[in-house]
């Protein structure tokens, strides 16, 4: 069974009196354990599609099933709770909370889970170890390089052990070397930890890491 | 479920330049508010400590103050003869003090501007009837002489009241022979002399403005008052002495309270808008952060709570600042026109724990009200557009 199962999804924005169709009849199935790269020109709807999969946006019509749940059936609150258990987010600009240390950032999603303080710290440190930054646990984001920040963000994405990771241009703001390291880390997460990854990227070298490349153009999957 | 408090505190500290103005705004309002309440507390204290629990004061019915009260010497004799009045140890004379009260215009020490000072002519037994009076400098006045003693507070505030000075009131000279304290009561804002000398000098013969009576048993006051009020020969009532002086605070206390309320409303509204502005700026600057937290699974309610809490901290910081600033005024002595007797009453600001609590609660209320709308906006943000923000 596919962990992501999207059927006939349309997303339409209304700007002034104009209708803008951003996604136009998307059908997409991603089997569990897959590493998919979503490519396409700017404005083609990649981020919009990723947001639907991640449950932070809703389609105008069509069905989005992720990890066995029809997201359209969930209320706002239930959807938030669903996200905290099922999806890990990796952003282009890392989006770490600047006033929290690395380990506190990683702990954030665990605040939504019933767990003792010590357990939380332990889990967060384990996640930091996975990304190779255990020694930077007490550093603030501003004390880290871009690549290190993104690794902390990845630790935050995996700390609740979600089934699906969504990444929107995770290497878009990094130099080649750091990008390389991040991609290797994501490959590891996919291979060793069996995470299903949906990654939006412009970078062909990044896309090569994925098992499958899908192309989006003007709101339609072309390949 | 909730975000940790350290997150809010650190966020405020990091943006201290933005938050400082709001904290300062709330702080100023709290300072003024607490100082006004401290004035009120000090004022009440000065009046409440005036008089003794077992004394009663006889005044003309319908009079608002001693100044507007007057009754005959015969009436005073009848009341003094009542068995419920305590007697002096030696000769068994009733412990009463017939008193006249007049107002003199004297120059203030600071600027020489005239101010009203209460002058009280008292009976020789006044010092027995009224406990707590102490001569701190010089001596007391001698009966039959044009001598006065001066309450310590008014001595500090009015010119020409040093020992040995001559005070000219209504074309008569009075020599200042002593200074006295009276446990911080309003008597410390008065000048006292011999009734028998003052009455003719001030054309108040044939009676007195009031008579203070020591009761043998304070519990008999109510019955005593009923007897006095029922007597058709005069129009007098008996009031518990402390109660009488505290009631004099009524109009001034009321206007101080009204002023505190006005400050709270007008300045408070300004400070709330200041805090609101700051919180809107904070929310705008952290839009992407809010989007991230929501994506991670934090609910709208936890975002709303987080920003309200942050605004409460803003208020708390302002409240603490305001209370600290207001302590600069603690103990500072000032005076007010005591409206019901038109005379100057000196009193000290008194910051009580209740004042501080009120100030802090007020600050928290300002923080809460200022934070509510911005927090609401933060909670309502669309996740996808919040994540797009720079
Ligand atoms: N809230 C919105 N209101 C109106 N139009 C929107 C909104 N969000 C996105 N769009 C439009 O939808 C289209 C697709 O946006 P999307 O962000 O999905 O593109 P993208 O493929 O991720 O582009 P990029 O590679 O530049 O990130 C764009 O034309 C964009 O302007
Ligand atoms: Mg995009």
Please determine, for residue A38, whether its predicted confidence score (pLDDT) is greater than 80.
yes
Closest CA to A204 of A10, A28, A11, A40: A40
Please determine, for residue A103, whether its predicted confidence score (pLDDT) is greater than 70.
yes
Measure A163 CA to ligand 1 centroid, in angstroms: 26
Q: For helices B353-380 and B250-285, what crossing angle results, to 10°? A: 30
pLDDT digits (tens, 9 = 90+) for A70-102: 999 999 999 999 999 999 999 999 999 999 999
Give the pLDDT band of residue B333 (cuts 50, 70, 90): low
The residues whose Cβ lies within 5 A of ligand 2, an ion, are: A 47
B298 to A112: CB separation less than 8 angstroms, yes or no: yes
Top residue of B287, B296, B299 to mutate, by most chain A CBs within 10 Å, is B296
Give the pLDDT band of residue B340 (cuts 50, 70, 90): very low
Task: State the complex-level ipTM.
Answer: 0.95
The token duo for B83 is 């068995």
Range of weakest confidence among A37-41, B167-171, B174-178, B312-316 = B167-171
What is the rounded distance in angstroms from the CA atom of residue B340 to the CA atom of residue B348?
A: 19
Ligand 1 neighbourhood includes A43 CB (under 6 angstroms): yes
Q: What was the pLDDT predicted at B361?
A: 96
Q: What was the pLDDT predicted at B334?
A: 61
Helices (DSSP H) in B231-286: which residue ranges?
A: 241-247, 250-285
Please determine, for residue A15, whether its predicted confidence score (pLDDT) is greater than 50.
yes
Q: Of B37 and B356, which is predicted with more confidence?
A: B356
The answer to whether A76 contacts chain B (CB < 8 Å) is yes
Mean pLDDT of chain B: 87
Give the pLDDT band of residue B339 (cuts 50, 70, 90): very low
List of chain B residues whose C-beta atoms are within 8 Å of the C-beta of residue A51: 383-384
How many CA atoms lie less than 13 Å away from B242 in the CB half-sphere? 11
What is the rounded distance in angstroms from the CA atom of residue B368 to the CA atom of residue B134?
A: 50
Measure A45 CA to ligand 1 centroid, in angstroms: 6
Q: Which residues touch A153 (CB under 8 Å, ≥6 apart)?
A: A89, A90, A91, A94, A95, A96, A105
pLDDT digits (tens, 9 = 90+) for B256-297: 778 878 877 888 898 899 899 999 999 999 999 999 999 999
The answer to whether B21 contacts chain A (CB < 8 Å) is no
- How many other β-carbons are positioned within 10 Å of the β-carbon of residue B6? 11
Please determine, for residue A108, whether its predicted confidence score (pLDDT) is greater than 90.
yes
Contact of B220 with B84, CB cutoff 8 Å:
yes
Give the pLDDT band of residue B141 (cuts 50, 70, 90): very high
What is the rounded distance in angstroms from the CA atom of residue A127 to the CA atom of residue A151?
A: 10
Give the pLDDT band of residue B341 (cuts 50, 70, 90): very low
Write the residue with the smallest CA distance to atom 16 of ligand 1.
A45
Q: What was the pLDDT predicted at B331?
A: 58
What average pLDDT score do residues A105-111 get? 95
Contact of B22 with B318, CB cutoff 8 Å:
yes
> What is the C-alpha end-to-end distance of chain B, expressed in Å?
27
The answer to whether A22 contacts chain B (CB < 8 Å) is no
User: How many Å separate Cα B389 from the centre of its chain?
Assistant: 54
Contact of B215 with B221, CB cutoff 8 Å:
yes
What is the rounded distance in angstroms from the CA atom of residue B331 to the CA atom of residue A86?
A: 63
Name the DSSP letter for residue B188: G
Contact of A172 with A46, CB cutoff 8 Å:
no
pLDDT digits (tens, 9 = 90+) for A190-201: 999 999 999 999
> What is the C-alpha end-to-end distance of chain A, expressed in Å?
21
Q: Of B45 and A15, which is predicted with more confidence?
A: A15
B295 to A109: CB separation less than 8 angstroms, yes or no: no
> Which structural domains are found in chain A, ordered by start?
2-222 (3.40.50.300)
Strand partners, B336: B345
Please determine, for residue B338, whether its predicted confidence score (pLDDT) is greater than 50.
no
List of chain B residues whose C-beta atoms are within 8 Å of the C-beta of residue A77: 299-300
Nearest CB to A80 within list B7, B10, B298? B298
What is the rounded distance in angstroms from the CA atom of residue B71 to the CA atom of residue B209?
A: 6
What average pLDDT score do residues B171-178 get? 92
Range of weakest confidence among B167-176, B192-201, B251-260 = B251-260
């Amino acid at each position: 069974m596919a962990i992501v199962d999207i059927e006939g999804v349309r997303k339409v924005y209304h700007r002034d009196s104009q209708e803008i169709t951003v996604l136009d009849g998307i059908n997409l199935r991603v089997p569990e354990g897959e590493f998919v790269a979503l490519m396409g020109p700017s404005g083609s709807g990649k981020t919009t599609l990723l947001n639907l999969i991640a449950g932070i946006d809703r389609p105008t019509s069509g069905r989005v099933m992720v990890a066995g749940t029809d997201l359209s059936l969930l209320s706002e609150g239930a959807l938030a709770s669903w996200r905290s258990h099922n999806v890990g987010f990796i952003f282009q600009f890392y989006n770490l909370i600047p006033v929290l240390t690395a380990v506190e950032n990683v702990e954030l999603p665990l605040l939504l889970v019933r767990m003792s303080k010590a357990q939380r710290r332990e889990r967060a440190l384990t996640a930091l170890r996975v990304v190779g930054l255990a020694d930077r646990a007490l550093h603030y984001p501003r004390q880290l390089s871009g690549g290190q920040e993104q690794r902390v963000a990845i630790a935050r994405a995996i700390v609740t052990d979600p089934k699906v990771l969504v990444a929107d241009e995770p290497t878009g703001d990094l130099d080649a070397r750091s990008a390389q390291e991040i991609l290797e880390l994501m490959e590891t997460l996919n291979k060793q930890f069996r995470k299903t990854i949906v990654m939006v990227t412009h970078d062909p070298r990044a896309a090569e890491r994925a098992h499958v490349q899908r192309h989006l153009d003007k709101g339609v999957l072309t390949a | 479920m909730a975000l940790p408090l350290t997150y809010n505190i650190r966020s405020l500290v990091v943006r201290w330049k933005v938050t400082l103005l709001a904290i300062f705004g709330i702080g100023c309002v709290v300072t003024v508010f607490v100082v006004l309440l401290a004035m009120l507390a000090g004022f009440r204290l000065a009046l409440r400590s005036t008089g003794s629990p077992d004394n009663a004061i006889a005044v003309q019915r319908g009079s608002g103050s001693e100044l507007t009260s007057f009754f005959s010497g015969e009436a005073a004799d009848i009341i003094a003869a009542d068995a419920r009045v305590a007697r002096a140890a030696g000769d068994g004379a009733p412990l009463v003090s017939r008193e006249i009260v007049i107002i003199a215009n004297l120059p203030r020490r600071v600027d020489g501007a005239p101010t009203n000072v209460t002058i009280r002519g008292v009976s020789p037994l006044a010092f027995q009837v009224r406990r707590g009076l102490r001569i701190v400098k010089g001596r007391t006045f001698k009966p039959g002489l044009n001598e006065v003693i001066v309450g310590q507070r008014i001595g500090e505030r009015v010119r020409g009241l040093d020992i040995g000075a001559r005070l000219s009131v209504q074309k008569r000279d009075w020599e200042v022979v002593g200074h006295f304290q009276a446990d911080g009561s309003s008597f410390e804002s008065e000048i006292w002399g011999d009734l028998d000398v003052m009455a003719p000098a001030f054309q108040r013969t044939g009676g007195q403005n009031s008579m203070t009576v020591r009761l043998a048993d304070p519990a008999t006051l109510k019955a005593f008052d009923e007897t006095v009020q029922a007597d058709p020969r005069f129009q007098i009532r008996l009031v518990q002495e402390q109660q009488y002086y505290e009631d004099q605070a009524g109009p001034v206390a009321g206007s101080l309270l009204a002023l505190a309320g006005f400050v709270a409303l007008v300045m408070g509204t300004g400070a709330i808008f200041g805090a609101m502005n700051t919180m809107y700026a904070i929310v705008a600057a952290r839009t992407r952060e809010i989007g991230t937290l929501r994506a991670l699974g934090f609910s709208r309610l936890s975002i709303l709570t987080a920003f309200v809490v942050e605004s409460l901290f803003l208020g708390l910081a302002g409240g603490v600042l305001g209370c600290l600033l207001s302590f600069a005024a603690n103990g500072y002595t000032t005076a007010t026109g005591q409206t019901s007797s038109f005379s100057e009453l000196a009193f000290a600001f008194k910051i009580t724990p209740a004042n501080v609590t009120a100030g802090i609660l007020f600050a928290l209320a300002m923080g809460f009200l200022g934070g509510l709308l911005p927090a609401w906006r933060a909670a309502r943000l669309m996740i996808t557009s919040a994540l797009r923000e720079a």
